[in-house]
Amino acid sequence: MLALFVHTAGALGKLFSEAIEAIDPGPVEGIRATGATKVQEIVFGVIPQVMPLWTSLTLYRLEANVRSASVLGIVGAGGIGVTLYQNFRAFNNPNVCAMLIILVVTLVIIDTVSSRIRNRLV
């Protein structure tokens, strides 16, 4: 879990900073022209432009981490993958099938929720 967290934090930090670099400077300059403080420039000029992309990237990484957690468990890092691997090695096919179905349903739910959230923000 710590490895997934560190990797995700690094990847999201890079992607978030690139999203900030790619914003349209016009709204920020307009807010600056009104005499706003730096915090107000960020709150009203930068964050509204990057929030849809940040949300999308965060939800994508969440979905990727759920998938990665099952694979990491198979190679010995713990979590649902260990249980999946143990049942797989024991030829306990009904349990393996149930776990895979739960994993797929979980990913579909995460993808559906993230799609709805992204549609509301855009």
Q: pLDDT truncated to tens, each residue of the chain (122 aa)?
A: 788 889 999 999 999 999 999 999 999 999 999 999 999 999 999 999 999 889 889 988 988 888 888 888 777 777 778 888 888 899 999 999 999 999 899 889 988 988 888 888 77
95, 80 Cβ separation under 8 angstroms: no
- Give DSSP secondary structure letters for 14-67: HHHHHHHHTS-HHHHHHHHHTT--HHHHIIIIIHHHHHHHHHHHHHHHHHHHHH
Instruction: Give me the pLDDT at residue 63, please.
Output: 86
CATH code that applies to domain 2-121: 1.10.3720.10
**pTM (2 d.p.):** 0.77
